[in-house]
């Protein structure tokens, strides 16, 4: 009688053979932790709800407003990059509504593209 057919773990290049599930014990745990981390960074349903509420009250891009233009904001930007800091992340004084264009410009600058 043949034993249970084992399949390789779905993690790239993992040699582990498993009888059920997708990942070996080690990688199943690693996957769980990844989920935990993105939750800890704050990008979850709580953030999405807060973001929507904020944009409803602050519907216009602040940078466009400075240029005397009215553009619908689609992004809640963190004025000071939170880099995982929960206090900065949830501090509404650190939020500003931006349109996608202005958010992209800001992100590009933060990524080191100061254009020198």
Q: What is the contact surface with Zn ion in residues (CB under 5 A)?
A: 9, 11, 14, 16, 24, 27, 61, 63-64, 71, 99, 102
Quick check: helix, strand or coil at residue 51?
Answer: helix
Q: Which is nearer to Zn ion, 11 or 47 (CB)?
A: 11
Min dist CB 22 to Zn ion, Å, is 9
Min dist CB 39 to Zn ion, Å, is 22
- Cα 105 from chain centre: 18
Q: What are the distances in angstroms from CA 51 to CA 65, 93, 101?
A: 20, 13, 18
Q: Which is nearer to Zn ion, 74 or 94 (CB)?
A: 74
Q: Which is nearer to Zn ion, 2 or 12 (CB)?
A: 12
| Residues near 71 by beta carbon (within 8 Å), at least 6 away in sequence | 60, 61, 64, 99, 101
Min dist CB 107 to Zn ion, Å, is 13
């Amino acid at each position: 009688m043949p034993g249970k057919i084992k399949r390789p773990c779905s993690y790239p290049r993992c040699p582990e053979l498993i009888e059920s599930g997708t990942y070996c014990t080690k990688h199943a745990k690693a996957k769980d932790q990844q989920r935990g981390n993105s939750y800890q960074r704050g990008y979850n349903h709580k953030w999405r709800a807060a973001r929507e509420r904020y944009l409803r009250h602050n519907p216009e891009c602040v940078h466009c407003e400075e240029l005397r233009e009215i553009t619908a904001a689609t992004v809640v930007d963190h004025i000071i990059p939170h880099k995982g800091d929960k206090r900065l992340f949830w501090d509404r004084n650190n939020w500003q509504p931006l349109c996608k264009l202005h958010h992209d410009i800001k992100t590009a600058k933060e990524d080191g593209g100061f254009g020198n």
